[in-house]
Structure 1
Amino acid sequence: MVSPGARPQPVRMGVLGGADIAVRRMLPALTSQPLVDLVAVASRSLAKAQGLADRFGCAAVEGYDRLLARSDIDAVYIPLPTALHAEWTTRALEAGKHVLCEKPCATGPREATEVVTAARERGLLVMESFMFLHHAQHARVRELVRDGAIGQLREVTAVFGIPAPPRAAAGEGHALGSLLETGVYPVRAARLFAGDDLDVVGATLTLDSDTGHDLGGSALLRAPSGVLARLGFGWDRFYRCTYELWGSEGRLTLDRAFTTPDTHTPVLRMERQESVRELTLAPDRQFVNIVGAFARAVVSGKGFEEHADDILRQAALVDRIRRAASPDSRCGTRAPSRKGKSDTT
């Protein structure tokens, strides 16, 4: 705990792996956040680790276990392929490190429970890196909705699609499908605006005939209040990253909602019967912000249960969507075979 008025010591952090999102966004954020001291980065290749260490001013470590064994690291950020998140998050917690893990932290409820149990048993923080939640644009949207700018909220539509699987998902056979890689963003947005008690009315996934993994899908959710959430997601399609809130008296739309660049100037489009307004907001640094939120939680010792519960709720809802769209039901469809097509990402 930090005494009132005292300046907290930076949280000493390490990074497991050099995934694209780490190199482009999180490592720069770690070095820019004054509440964090980037101590080391690990890779299975010492040469790769050294290249990253030279670039970001920290130590290079060969092997993830060696980084977890270091006594000068309080917490780690994990940007490994999705299939490895739960395993290495649990190992990091068992090594006594707080964890900020890329989303999704777990591939299903069982893994989520194992991760949260490991954190709770050791009194450590585990936080899922939904960085978009820490961009100021969404707080402004919530204020507008709360103040009745579009009347009573009736429906949330959230969409995230990209032209190809993320690099980390595509490599080494770890691709687990677009629901876990892109769908988790609209799911989390639905929870943000419609609440946590969401029932899955229906869902569908389009499956790759070669791998069985989903290329895209959609879901319809309903809150106890009657608010609907319509979600769309996938890869191998035109880029879309947006949500729309439809109310009794108007609607509000936000583009670049999830993967917002630091320099991007958000524009909220608000439509009512008598007017159309565009509200221009200031740019914000969501990766720097989430690192700061993580560090403040570590230092204060507060919010650990909130983040643990959030991981469990997210994993449970994603699993219900997957079950609703089971290929054993009429909801599942299979895309044509992609044999002979390039898998370059």
Structure 2
Amino acid sequence: MDARRGPVRMGVLGCADIALRRMLPVLAEERCVELVAVASRDADRAAGTAARFGCDGASYDALLRRDDVDAVYIPVPPALHRHWVAEALAAGKHVLCEKPLSTSYDDTRELMGLARARGLVLAENFMFLHHSQHRTVRKLLDEDVVGTVQVFTSAFGVPPLDPAGFRYRPDLGGGALLDTGVYPLRAAQLFLGGELEVLGATLRIDERTGVDVAGTVLLSAADGSAAQLSFGFDHAYRSHYALWGSRGRVTVERAFTPPEQLEPPVRIRQQGRSTELLMAADHQVRNAVRAFAGAIRSGARGPLDQETTLRQARLVEDVRLRARRFTHGQEHA
């Protein structure tokens, strides 16, 4: 079947938590896609997940060999992204990969080159970008509500996670920078645009596991505006960004993972005046799936948003290179 004429036939490589909680329910219900198969290294887990979502179970390699799969969603740990994205592209499948697309700039550039050479859609799955509240913020900026933006601030932090999970394993691409830090970095790109320079960064390292569990970043844009970012998974929950300009400030309090039923508030503060706007509830996971399927059905060829994805990979790498590292308050190399 031509994916441009009917639903995009999807396979899922991995039964990660984000797939089970957020993506598979949407893939099983959305009309623009057809969930064909789900894969796991554990045959029983693949079969159980497949029964739950009404599709076939398979191994990774078997799923990629299927002629009835047009595209795959990849939610495996970050250090495995490069291998499985490359394998999927080599098998002729379009790819929607969880963020980050890879753990290095060079690997990201290589994967994008593979997709471009084969004419396949490759997308990095930053679902928050597909929530309509951010378009409203952009409209407020275009209407000069805050004036000239001078500072962008953002924080994404969550409480400690499962200590047995991949986020605490350096060999699997664990750490807060790749897990939560990429969100404020991507949001800074969204609103400041262009090339952003890493002026400084910190990473707090967990002595037991060796992964970073918290961090901060200071960025500068070409026009002199700055971004102050913080992130981690050793925090009380926060999912926030704000734009502070010459005339006022716009704040988004549920920036990255708002529930689909939530009407998220956007707050505007100007001299002597405060306004709160309730945004329409929106389903960013469904929107992300529709955008990916739409790109395939429209005949898009190669990586989506290539320039921004490469900038994102470069920013993450620069943060890692520039960061001062601390353990229990003590700096170390």
Which stretch of the first structure deviates more once superposed, 177-186 or 27-36?
Answer: 27-36
| Counterpart for residue 23 of structure 1 | 20
Q: Which amino acid aligns with 1:106?
A: S
Q: 1:196, 1:31 → 2: CA distance?
A: 37
| Counterpart for residue 104 of structure 2 | 108
CA apart distance, 1:85: 1.1
Q: 1:138, 1:245 → 2: CA distance?
A: 12
Task: Please give the residue correspondences for 1:273-312 in structure 2 after superposition, counting only pairs within 5 Å.
Answer: 273-302=271-300, 304-312=302-310
Given that 1:17 and 1:41 are in contact with CA atoms closer than 8 Å, whether structure 2 keeps it comes out as yes
Q: 1:171, 1:185 → 2: CA distance?
A: 20
RMSD of aligned C-alpha atoms?
A: 1.8
CA apart distance, 1:171: 6.7
Q: Which amino acid aligns with 1:21?
A: I
1:335 matches 2:332:
no
Partner SS, residue 197 of structure 1: coil
* CA 1:97–1:303: 2 relative to 1, 3 Å: closer
Q: Which amino acid aligns with 1:120?
A: R
Q: Percent identity?
A: 49
Q: 2:56 aligns with which of 47, 55, 59?
A: 59
Given that 2:166 and 2:174 are in contact with CA atoms closer than 8 Å, whether structure 1 keeps it comes out as no
1:152 matches 2:148:
yes
Given that 1:297 and 1:304 are in contact with CA atoms closer than 8 Å, whether structure 2 keeps it comes out as no
Task: Map Cα deviations across residues 202-250 of structure 1 (whole Å, 9 max, x no partner).
Answer: 1111112233321111011011111111110111121111111111111
* CA 1:333–1:152: 2 relative to 1, 3 Å: same
Task: Please give the residue correspondences for 1:16-95 in structure 2 after superposition, counting only pairs within 5 Å.
Answer: 16-61=13-58, 63-95=59-91
| Counterpart for residue 218 of structure 1 | 216
Partner SS, residue 314 of structure 1: helix
Specify every segment of 5 or more residues in structure 1 that has no aligned partner in the other structure, as ranges. Answer: 326-330, 338-345
Q: 1:255, 1:189 → 2: CA distance?
A: 13
Given that 2:123 and 2:304 are in contact with CA atoms closer than 8 Å, whether structure 1 keeps it comes out as no
| Counterpart for residue 9 of structure 1 | 6
Given that 1:98 and 1:125 are in contact with CA atoms closer than 8 Å, whether structure 2 keeps it comes out as yes
Q: 1:279, 1:222 → 2: CA distance?
A: 29
Q: 1:161, 1:150 → 2: CA distance?
A: 26
CA apart distance, 1:146: 1.1
Q: 1:28, 1:87 → 2: CA distance?
A: 26
